[in-house]
Amino acid sequence: MIDAVKFAVVLQCPNCGQKGARHWEQGSDGGQKLGSNRTYISVSSGFHCEEGRAANGEPLIVCDVCDEIQPD
């Protein structure tokens, strides 16, 4: 069985250029291969989560510098 894998996705705000990362954990699908089931863990400083969901169902990530909602 494959354990869950933690990973980060780089962020760069398209409005002001602030850089950071989203942190995720991806679970396994019964030990055959890594599944697509991922869970949001945190976001680096410079960004924050707000209530609501993006079009893809993930949490809204917002830039602390310019208050821009980050694209999916």
Instruction: Check residues 4 and 64 and name the one with the higher pLDDT.
Output: 64
CB 63 within 8 A of CB 49: no
pTM value > 0.85: no
List the domain range (segments joined by +) for residue 10.
5-63
Segment holding 22, helix H or strand E: strand 19-28
Amino acid 70 reads Q
Q: Residue 57 falls within a domain, yes or no?
A: yes
- pLDDT band at 66; cut points 50, 70, 90: very high
Q: Residue 69 falls within a domain, yes or no?
A: no
- Structural domain count, the chain: 1
- What are the distances in angstroms from CA 19 to CA 3, 30, 41, 58, 72? 29, 35, 18, 19, 15
Q: Residue 72 falls within a domain, yes or no?
A: no
pLDDT tens per residue across span 7-55: 888 999 999 999 999 888 887 654 444 445 777 789 999 999 888 777 7
Whole-angstrom Cα distance, residue 19 to residue 38? 22
